[in-house]
């Protein structure tokens, strides 16, 4: 059993608490009007993000998502770091390509342009008798 606790401060005071979960890319409402959410953790809870929301008469504020860490999950944590590093590497590669493309285009516009040669028009006259 795991208890997730939501704490908020507000003026006016917090009137309602709401719990959400993202599972398989879908946002699901879990529980309403409870500051502490207790759940029996199963393997299916791995990878899910849990959010709490606090609401008063003026606004609602959502927490950042929290993911449950399972015992022996160090391998998954390392895999997450690898994914982040790969994404950063791809972003750097694409950024570099965009910078070089802009640089090459700007160099092309700086090159002196050859002036167009004026066309020579020859007037031919023919005499008719």
Can you tell me the mean pLDDT for 109-116? Answer: 60
Can you tell me the mean pLDDT for 45-50? Answer: 80
The pLDDT value given to residue 111? 57
Can you tell me the mean pLDDT for 15-27? Answer: 84
Residue 96, SS3 per DSSP: helix
Report the candidate in 47, 36, 37, 39 with the shortest Cα–Cα distance to residue 69.
Answer: 47
Considering only residues 109 and 102, tell me which one the structure prediction assigns the higher pLDDT: 102
pTM over 0.85: no
Mean pLDDT computed over every residue of the chain: 76
Considering only residues 34 and 103, tell me which one the structure prediction assigns the higher pLDDT: 34
């Amino acid at each position: 059993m795991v208890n997730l606790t939501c704490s908020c401060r507000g003026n006016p005071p917090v009137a309602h608490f709401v719990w959400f979960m993202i599972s398989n890319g879908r946002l699901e409402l879990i529980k309403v009007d409870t500051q502490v959410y207790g759940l029996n953790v199963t393997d299916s809870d791995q990878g899910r993000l849990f959010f709490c929301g606090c609401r008063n008469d003026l606004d609602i504020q959502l927490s950042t998502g929290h993911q449950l860490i399972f015992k022996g999950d160090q391998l998954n944590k390392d895999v997450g770091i690898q994914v982040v590093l790969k994404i950063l590497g791809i972003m750097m590669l694409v950024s570099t390509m965009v910078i070089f493309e802009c640089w090459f285009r700007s160099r092309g516009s700086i090159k002196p342009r050859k002036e167009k040669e004026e066309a020579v028009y020859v007037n031919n006259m023919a005499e008719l008798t």
